[in-house]
Amino acid sequence: MTIHTRPLGSPDTAATAAAIHRNALGSAQKRLWQAAMGTVMPDAEAKVPQNPDMEKLDLDALLELAGRATQPRPMAAVLHSPDYRSQIRDPDLRSVEASTPVMGEIALDPARLGANARHAPALERAADRTGIPATALAAIVNAEAAKDSAGQWNIYSRNSRSSAAGLGQFLSRTWEGMAETRGTWLNQTAQAKGWLDRSGQVRPAARAELLQLRYNATASIETTADYARANLKTLERSGVATGEDASAVARTAYLAHHLGPGDAIKYLKTGLTDERAGLLLRAQIGGGRASQAIARTGDASAAHRAWLDNYVGSRVRPERFA
């Protein structure tokens, strides 16, 4: 280890210490979340850069460090919408009333968004409206959207294997469902534009224009927040713990965003069937890679869980934006 001769309080030393601390915090949160999910991936499989010095710290030290650093506080005001109802089109779920979950908050630092700093106002507005931390929203979008060489989110992101599009990678049917869900940002927009009929359903003639709105950054971020709020409430009512801080909330919300609430509940409670897991894995990483992963693990459910747990643990990290 190189010993620096700069004064202890110098800016360079402080920056280095902060970087080491962020690495330790991220590693601890990732390992704890994976342990809670029942799967801890080997470091060799993880996509998070490992710091040799941090491996020497025991878990208690990391937890103490994380606790001092984040100190999640209850939100000063939790927004409750008594008339907000989730009507997500999921074959496994009935419509449920949604309300804002209480959770710890870590302030968003626009500078930490880097090339995506221009999206900070939209993230903050969506967070203020729904109660989902802006850092959690940033982490979800960062995991979903395609990026250019500078790390900038591509608002025109498309998944060639499905209908997923935009920063939030919403499937066409999910986007329409959010437009038809009373109280959401997208529902209010669709009503104002006359895209809904008298029964609140999307007019066939307006469908193309509505789906095109997925490529609007504000619309995608606002709808990601509404979808996260509804999904977290659905998971809670199904007996799934969603977490009380931004990191845990982001990871749980991302699972529901990625899988849909019905599959997320099964995934977190009993696990997906081999048939369903294999289908999802092939859609995400392609048939060839999926077949190789299934051959290594012995079954599709285990292969899909190994891939998804590792992906979420390494990619969905709100602390990067705090």
In CATH, the architecture of 72-321 is Orthogonal Bundle (1.10)
pLDDT in tens, the chain (322 residues): 433 333 333 444 444 444 444 444 444 444 444 444 444 433 333 333 333 333 333 333 333 333 333 333 332 222 223 222 333 333 333 333 334 443 445 789 999 999 999 999 999 999 999 999 999 999 999 999 999 999 999 999 998 878 999 999 999 999 999 999 999 999 999 999 999 999 999 999 999 999 999 999 999 999 999 999 999 999 999 999 888 777 888 899 999 999 999 999 999 999 999 999 999 999 889 999 999 999 999 999 999 999 999 999 999 999 999 8
Please report, in angstroms and rounded to a whole number, the separation of the first and last CA atoms in the chain.
28
Give the span between the Cα atoms of 140 and 37, in whole angstroms: 18
**What are the DSSP calls for 41-90, one per residue?**
--TTT--SPP-TTGGGS-HHHHHHHHHHHH--EE-S-----TT-EE----
pLDDT at 106: 74
Give the span between the Cα atoms of 239 and 236, in whole angstroms: 5
CB distance 263 to 90 below 8 Å: no
pLDDT at 245: 79
pLDDT at 214: 98
Q: Where are the alpha helices (DSSP H) in the chain?
A: 11-37, 59-70, 120-130, 134-144, 172-179, 185-192, 207-212, 217-237, 246-259, 261-269, 274-285, 287-297, 300-315
CA torsion angle for 40, 140, 169, 175 (degrees, to 10)? 120
In sign, the C-alpha dihedral spanning 91, 96, 102, 106 is positive
Stated as kind and residue range, the H or E segment containing 97 is strand 96-97
pLDDT at 312: 93
CB neighbours (10 Å) of residue 60?
A: 8
- The per-residue b/e assignment along 154-166, b for 16 or more CB within 10 angstroms, e otherwise, is ebebeeeeeebbb
CB distance 262 to 170 below 8 Å: no
Pairing mode, strands 73-74 and 104-105: antiparallel
Q: What are the structure tokens assigned to 241, written together?
A: 């713990």
pLDDT at 283: 87
